A and B are shown apart, each in its own frame.
Chain A
Amino acid sequence: MNLEFCKLPNDVSRIKLDGSLDVAGVGAVETRFYEHCSANPPRVLVDLAGVAFIGSLGIRMLLQAIKTISTRGGRLVLLNPGRIVDSALDISGLGQYVVRGTEAEVSASLV
């Protein structure tokens, strides 16, 4: 499981995840993921295009981050998940946080 972090030009935090958000994958990235989600301002784009698998632990990690960022008055979106991951997010009630588009378009919509 890989995690890449960068700041986009309009001060949006971009976290790109690649691999499987299973027990091992979540264990490998969870601490860094939460650290990056705590950046200011609380505007976070999580790129899920490279995530091939998500289980309940992965969904729990995303949900926890959404809750924390919402409490701080910010916004987190889930960018371009593949079809199966998208389905799992929808079943888990996170479909409203899924967005489609280019990184630049979605990032601009967060400002």
Chain B
Amino acid sequence: MENCVKLRIKSAFSEIPAANEAASRWLAERAAPAAADYFTNLAIEELVTNCIKYGYDDSAEHFIEVEVKLCPDELVVTVTDDGRPFNPLEAPEPDIALPVADRPVGGLGIHLLRRMSDRMDYARSDGKNLLTLRKSLTVEKTGATKP
């Protein structure tokens, strides 16, 4: 059974649920843990949404590629887009310790991915953003490895 799948997602919000369903189905066929399913869905949801909202200067159709690789001990999700350069690793961390009245309600997507990943790498190559997220499936991180 293949341990890697590539999804090509049109840059439209309406395409996200189908992409998440396809990823979940593929992971379920491989008996992946619930944490792998959650993390993959989170990566697709947050990164594809960000790209559609902020990534493009035109209204042309673009495609965002998501590669999911399931190894025995690790999940690797790579997201590639042809939007404007954006390195999520340089995004400011939200201050979640602020009193609730003073907290902005946004900016949590990248924060969630950072905290739930074991490693994130960014590269800009051939006019594309490549973000690789790795998550261990053996060591619990932030309580999200087991359902």
Contacts and interface: CB of A to CB of B under 8 A. Distances in A.
Interface of A: 20, 22-24, 53, 55-57, 59-60, 63-64, 66-67, 70-71, 82-84, 86-88, 90-93
A64 B105 CA distance: 6
**Interface residue range, chain B:** 20 to 34
A53 B143 CA distance: 14
A24 B103 contact: no
A91 B116 contact: yes
A87 B111 CA distance: 13
B35 interface: yes
A76 to B, nearest CB: 10
A93 B143 contact: no
B1 interface: no
B35 to A, nearest CB: 7
Given A67-B105, A90-B142, 7 more contacts: A22-B16, A22-B17, A22-B41, A67-B100, A92-B108, A92-B112, A93-B103
4 closest cross-chain pairs (CB), A and B: A93-B96, A56-B109, A87-B143, A56-B108
Interface in B6-62: 13, 16-17, 20, 34-35, 38, 41-42, 45-46, 49
B54 to A, nearest CB: 14
A21 to B, nearest CB: 10
B93 to A, nearest CB: 11
B13 to A, nearest CB: 6
Contacts of B91: none
A90 B142 CA distance: 9
Given A22-B41, A55-B109, A71 B144 contact: no
A92 B101 contact: no
B35 A84 contact: yes
Contact of A55 (B45, B94, B115): B45
Contacts of A88: 42, 112, 116, 144
A56 B97 contact: no
Contacts of B16: 22-24
B146 interface: yes
Contacts of B94: 93
B108 A23 contact: no
B20 A67 contact: no
B100 A63 contact: yes
Contacts of A24: 16-17
A12 to B, nearest CB: 20
